Structure 1
Amino acid sequence: MNAANDARPATTPAADRPILQLTDIWQRFGGLVANAEVTFDVPRGQILGLIGPNGAGKSTLFGIIAGARAPVQGQVVFEGRDVTRLDAPARCALGIARTYQVPRSFDSMSVLDNVMVGSFSRHTRAAAAREAALEVLDFTGLIGRAGASAGDLTPPEKRRLEVARALATEPRLLLLDEVMTGLTPSEARKGVELIRRIRDRGITVIMVEHVMEIVMPLVDRAIVLNLGRVLSQGAPQEVVRDPAVVAAYLGDRHRAA
């Protein structure tokens, strides 16, 4: 990394600083404003839910945090360092990993080899990368499928493989993009348990989800986006009672409930 990406001056001990700070983030695509004035901090060790209706700007913001695209305005600070102009591989090296809403597995490769793709970002020797990948597969419940082709996995297993490959990069911040979509209730319970165990490992989690029944009991804090802006943020039980959130996202049926 070069000296152009200077860290924001630290005013608090590293352990007490938010792991991620977004300040006045704007993103435009031509005349379309995808994100506007987005500012929030993410305390380390929490599970943060990023929710909102379709077109709210969640995926765009996810991409900005991961380094897929730089904002047209604003600042992204990770672990006290300004990473706004760093690309995704550089941010991965610093400890930011993500999954994708549509799984991006290498279907002709084995499950183990898929996860080793992630572990090679931390281990240069194949034996060490393989050992690390096997540990992640055991942690995520996929060890029994290590030798299977990724293309033969069920959709829920492919979502879990996305998580495993991201975990193999040994992140400090994990971005989960709709990993619960399409799961049965029993599969969703296993997914919730996995996310809690990830947090228990000291990894901060930001997750985009639409299934409110899953998100709200799981997250420590929720941020609601609407039309690219932060509509509400706070404890989940407070956010779901916010009249603006009910009107813009949850709807009259939730208000009645």
Structure 2
Amino acid sequence: MAETILNVEDVTLAFGGLVANRDVTLDVARGEILGLIGPNGAGKSTLFNLISGVYRPNRGRIRFEGADITALPPAERCRRGIARTFQVPRSFDSMNVLENVTVGAFARHAKAAQARAAALETLERVDLAHRADAVAGELTPPEKRRLEVARALATGPRLLLLDEVLTGLTPSEAKAGVALIRRVAAAGVTVIMVEHVMEVVMPLVDRAVVLNLGSVLAQGLPAEVVRDEAVIGAYLGERHRAA
């Protein structure tokens, strides 16, 4: 069996009377691509925020590479090897592309020259090197999503959280995005991705976890999950059943 890189155990987070995640338990194997799916408001982004350290759970534990990181701040989790993107890209729009990615590279390189070199190498990996001198605020939406991925990769993660990086892309752009994610995983980075484009994500992921109303509704191989009656009823809908 593959080694577990991330363990989320009975994690619950409530905002006042609203429970965003309830008793969420899941294990992520090192090297896998895990799809986190579910309807809007299911708690997917909240779970990303818990894993990355933006929020702390009311109860439960989060372990990364065997260590309890439940109380660690985001910067320390990043230093330990967890990076993420955001649903709405958050670039430094007045800085150029290379400078944006260099910011991420400073997580593992103390010297500016080393961080810049690592950033250039990362831009090559994500096919964005030709835009290194472009001002980030002038990028197209697909380029901004790729910039988010580049900045996260520049931190040297072992676990990468991708929040809807394929949403809103044309078919050709989505195909390029899928190829990039496969290259990232092939390089040894474990990936958890939130995505709504089922036709794209299901052939890509090794395993899928479905959240609904803050709880895990189902998990397993993609082919099993999309045939689960509870998943069809809560998320995929009757049109999927007919298809």
- Which bracket does the TM-score occupy, shorter chain normalised? over 0.9
TM-score for both structures, normalised by structure 1: 0.94
Aligned to 1:137: 123
Equivalent position of 2:161 in the other structure: 175
The amino acid across from 2:191 in the alignment is V
1:228 maps to: 214
Residue matched to 2:72: 86
Runs of 5+ in structure 1 lacking a partner? Answer: 1-14
Displacement of 1:17 in angstroms is 2.9
* Residue 103 of structure 1: aligned partner: 89
Q: Is the aligned partner of 1:164 residue 2:156?
A: no
Match of 2:51? 65
Distance of 1:210 and 1:175 partners within structure 2: 15
Q: Distance in 2 between matches of 1:211 and 1:87?
A: 31
> Which position in structure 1 is the counterpart of 2:39?
53
Listed as ranges, the matches of 1:198-217 within 5 Å are 198-217=184-203
Return the TM-score normalized by structure 2.
0.99
Deviation at 1:36, TM superposition (A): 0.6
Q: List per-residue Cα deviations over 1:44-69 (Å, max 9, x = no partner).
A: 00000000000101011110000101
Q: Deviations over 1:159-196 (max 9, x none)?
A: 00000000000000000000011100000000000000
Is the 1:17–1:80 contact (alpha carbons within 8 Å) kept by the matching residues of 2?
A: no
Measure, in 2, the Cα distance between the counterparts of 1:71 and 1:209: 23
After TM superposition, give the deviation of residue 16 of structure 1 in Å. Answer: 4.6
The one-letter amino acid paired with 1:73 is R
Q: CA RMSD in A?
A: 0.8
Are residues 1:253 and 2:239 paired? yes
Q: Distance in 2 between matches of 1:151 and 1:239?
A: 39
Letter in 1 for 2:97: V
**Moved runs in structure 1, 4+ residues, more than 4 A?**
none
- Alignment-derived partner of residue 9 in structure 2: 23
Match of 1:240 in 2: 226
- State percent identity of aligned pairs: 69
Distance 1:202 1:16 in 2: 13
Equivalent position amino acid for 1:149 in 2: V
Q: In the alignment, residue 173 of structure 2 is paired with which amino acid?
A: E
Name 2:179's counterpart in structure 1. 193
Q: Where do residues 111-122 of structure 1 align in structure 2 (5 Å cutoff)?
A: 111-122=97-108
Equivalent-residue separation in structure 2 for 1:201 and 1:118 (angstroms)? 18
Contact 1:50 1:223 in 2 (8 A): yes
Cross-structure match for 1:147? 133
CA distance in 1, matches of 2:212, 2:58: 19
> Can you list the C-alpha shifts for 1:116-173, whole angstroms capped at 9, x where unaligned?
0000111111111111000000000000000010011100000000000000000000
Residue identity matched to 2:189: I
Using the alignment, how far apart are the partners of 2:110 and 2:214 within structure 1?
Answer: 40
In structure 2, C-alpha distance between the alignment counterparts of 1:174 and 1:234, rounded to whole Å: 20
Contact 1:49 1:206 in 2 (8 A): yes
How far apart are the structure 2 equivalents of 1:64 and 1:201? 25
Which secondary structure does the structure 2 equivalent of 1:223 belong to?
A: strand
Letter in 1 for 2:69: V
